[in-house]
Amino acid sequence: MITLSGIIGSGKSSLTKILADELGTKAYYEPVKDNPVLPIFYKGNEIAAKKRAQGDKEATNPYAYLLQTYFLNRRFAMIKKAMQEDNNILDRSIYEDEIFMKMNTEMGNATEVEYDIYRSLLHNMMEELPYAAHKKSPDLMVTIKVSYDTMIERIIKRGREYEQVDQDPSLVDYYHRLLKQYDVWMQKYDASPLLIIDGDKYDFVANKEDRVSVLETIESKLLELGNLTKAQYEQLQQAHLDLLK
């Protein structure tokens, strides 16, 4: 089982599909289009930021806790289902979920009480995960690391209005904070082997050479970990050569 991680717009869903097609396995995607909370969460951030700018230091986003518990519930169900089978890929996992609640608390969008309740729920879920599935953790975590400029470029390209900084200038601070949180998370993550892909350097969606480079990096790691046989690895390498012809 491979899990993807990375900031908004890093290309997790795109790489998940590429990997699933490459390895002939099932892809699990984070719920976004059917998420009823996400648009109002962004609006709540904007409202809370304006209230704090006007002097209301206690203003919070009333939807921050709701959004994170919604995601936590969906991600737990998703990874539990994926771990009950072999050879699956998730475009986001429960392992990075706390980043968002922690940051929202630090920004004043959620209260310390909400954060404590959320953390207790998360830790209880993590303790139950090995019992709900037949493996303890992912075989490999792949993180796509991108800069602020690359992230914004991709956010603009995919066109979700509530993610655009020109629609909500408070998102500039939010995104920069999120990048810093991911840097810390990558240093501390220890649930499984971690592979970091340079999302600024490799355009694995539009560029075939870049896509092959990323796939070969991931597959070399899977070979090293014993998740691919030598024969499987060599077969994939031949497919890459055919792709580049």
Tell me how far apart the alpha carbons of residues 44 and 52 are, in angstroms, rounded to a whole number: 12
Q: What's the pLDDT at 45?
A: 79
What are the extents of the domains in the chain? 24-137+163-196
Mean pLDDT check: name the lowest of 58-62, 140-144, 220-224: 58-62
- Tell me: pLDDT of 146 over 90: yes
Q: Please say whether the beta carbons of 47 and 61 come within 8 A.
A: yes
Q: Which of 139, 234, 156, 129 is nearest to 193 (CA)?
A: 139
Position 34, amino acid: D
Mean pLDDT across the stretch 79-95? 87
Kindly compute the dihedral angle of the four CA atoms of residues 20, 21, 26, 30, in this order, to the nearest 10 degrees.
60
Strands (E), the chain: 2-6, 26-28, 88-90, 140-145, 194-198
Give the DSSP H or E segment for 143: strand 140-145
Mean pLDDT across the stretch 79-94? 86
Q: What's the pLDDT at 131?
A: 78
Mean pLDDT across the stretch 156-184? 89
Pairing of strands 140-145, 88-90: unpaired
Q: What's the pLDDT at 237?
A: 92
pLDDT band at 84 (very low <50, low <70, confident <90, very high): confident
Mean pLDDT across the stretch 92-96? 89
Residue-averaged pLDDT of the chain: 90
- Tell me: pLDDT of 245 over 80: no
DSSP lists the bridge partners of residue 6 as: 144
Give the DSSP H or E segment for 112: helix 112-132
Q: Please say whether the beta carbons of 71 and 97 come within 8 A.
A: yes
Q: What's the pLDDT at 41?
A: 87
CATH superfamily of 24-137+163-196: P-loop containing nucleotide triphosphate hydrolases (3.40.50.300)
Instruction: List active site positions.
Output: 91
Q: What's the pLDDT at 218?
A: 97
For the entire predicted model, the pTM comes to: 0.88
- Tell me: pLDDT of 34 over 80: no
- Tell me: pLDDT of 97 over 80: yes
Could you give the 3-state DSSP secondary structure of residue 226? coil
Tell me how far apart the alpha carbons of residues 244 and 65 are, in angstroms, rounded to a whole number: 47
